[in-house]
Amino acid sequence: MTQNLNIFQLASQLASHATQRQALIAQNTANADTPGYKARDLTPFAESFQSGSNMALRATRAGHLQPSGGSSRAEVVIDSLFGAESPNGNSVSLEDQMVRAAEVRQQHDLAIGIYQKSLQILRTSMGRK
């Protein structure tokens, strides 16, 4: 019943984008001391949503289950602060990554809030609480 409502699809895609972005932030943080490592991030959700990307999961092994729908994802881009590159070529700024992690947390909370409020409206319209 909720599969055909666009608001639920939007909330799901927003949460998926936040999950993928958090994974990249974790990789950036883990490689903060790796020589030559370049910080990466995803394109903003608004851009990937407007381009028709459905934030599908990626199978990394043949045994993984394939999700239904398309396989397009948000684009991973090299993204670092100007002047953040260290002498060994690493461009990860831990302060910047922590700020981005807080943004991702807010994005995920927004997705969950949209989903919960939409369910509440749907239940109220059916006469349930």
Domain ranges in the chain are 2-125
Residue 67, pLDDT > 70, answer: no
What are the φ/ψ torsions at residue 41 (nearest 5 degrees)? -155, 170
Longest dimension (CA), the chain: 64
- Give the integer Cα–Cα distance in Å for 115 and 51: 22
Residue 108: predicted pLDDT: 96
Most confident of 32-36, 83-87, 109-113: 109-113
Residue 127, pLDDT > 90, answer: no
108 Cβ contact partners less than 8 Å away, ≥ 6 residues apart: 14, 15, 18, 19, 22
Q: Residue 56: which of 88, 26, 19 has the closest Cα? A: 19
pLDDT tens-digit readout, 86-124: 888 888 889 999 999 999 999 999 999 999 999 999 899
pLDDT tens-digit readout, 112-122: 999 999 999 98
Q: Which amino acid is residue 80, in one-letter code?
A: S
